[in-house]
Amino acid sequence: MIIECRRHHLLERIRERGVTWSSVAPAIVSIDGDRLRVDVDHPAYPRRRVGPWPRRIRLVARLRTSADRGVGDTLERLAGGFGRAFKRMHRLIFGRACGCEARRDQLNRTYPYQEQPA
């Protein structure tokens, strides 16, 4: 099935499902300015995660609190002081962020707590 959407809608879906533009590009049939025609039956189209979460993710999810949005927040909270110290040392040594926030956000998008872990 071919759908029409705007570029920012597809980019939003790509971010939600944790894939990249280049991996989804084969599913794009045509581009007309900001409008895209996308084949949603194409294997490259980003699908929702199906099936149970991996065991290590389910174990982390058991330790969640009501303030955690997803697995990334839980891991950040569990890392606590060690995580904060690591971030400071990484910035001191390498002069740039360690990427923890991006990983946390990616895990929160991939394994959100609004759905129950399997």
> Could you report the per-residue pLDDT of 19-56, keeping only the tens digit for each?
888 888 999 999 999 999 999 888 888 776 667 888 99
The pLDDT of residue 116 is above 70 = no
Using DSSP, state whether 10 is helix, strand or coil.
Answer: helix
The pLDDT of residue 118 is above 80 = no
If 0-12 CB within 10 Å is exposed, 13-18 middle and 19+ buried, where does residue 39 land?
A: middle
Percent of the chain with pLDDT over 90: 42
pLDDT tens-digit readout, 78-96: 998 888 899 899 999 999 9
Per-residue pLDDT, 15:
82
Residue type, position 38, single letter: V
